[in-house]
């Protein structure tokens, strides 16, 4: 028996979708105010704003890690002492801040 159609697709999607996990957090008042303003501006929920911000932060961290490793690869392959010095400074800045 072939299973097709919107009802079947919905059942399959629901069965394979990952469940959301409810977490309770406390936000500092200044951050909570920013979230409230963003939610009002986007006409969405506070929860949606928090999820979007967390996802953006995770993506940013991953991109920063990839950039770090790309710089480390360039450092190990570079023969130019001036470039090596620039890369070392950038890696130090990424690791220890300004």
> Higher model confidence: residue 70 or residue 9?
70
Domain housing 61: 26-96
pLDDT confidence of residue 64: 94
12 domain residue, yes or no: no
1 domain residue, yes or no: no
39 domain residue, yes or no: yes
Secondary structure in 3-state letters for the chain? CCCCCHHHHHHHHHHHCCCCCCCCCCCCHHHHHHHHHHHHHHCCCHHHHHHHHHHHHHHHHHHHHHHHHHHHHHHHHCCCHHHHHHHHHHHHHHHHCC
7 domain residue, yes or no: no
The two structure tokens encoding residue 27: 């936000």
64 domain residue, yes or no: yes
CA 93 – CA 98 distance, rounded (Å): 5
pTM of the model as a whole: 0.66
> Higher model confidence: residue 50 or residue 13?
50
Instruction: Tell whether the model's pLDDT for residue 17 goes beyond 70.
Output: no
Number of domains in the chain: 1
2-6, 33-37, 58-62, 75-79: least confident range: 2-6
């Amino acid at each position: 028996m072939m299973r097709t159609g919107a009802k079947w697709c919905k059942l399959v999607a629901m069965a394979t979708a990952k469940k959301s996990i409810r977490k309770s957090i406390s936000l500092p008042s200044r951050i909570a105010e920013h979230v409230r303003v963003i939610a009002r501006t986007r006409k969405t929920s506070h929860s949606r704003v928090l999820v979007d911000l967390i996802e953006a932060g995770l993506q940013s961290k991953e991109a920063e890690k990839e950039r770090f490793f790309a710089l480390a690869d360039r450092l190990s392959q570079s023969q130019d002492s001036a470039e090596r010095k620039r890369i070392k400074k950038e890696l130090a800045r990424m690791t220890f801040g300004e």
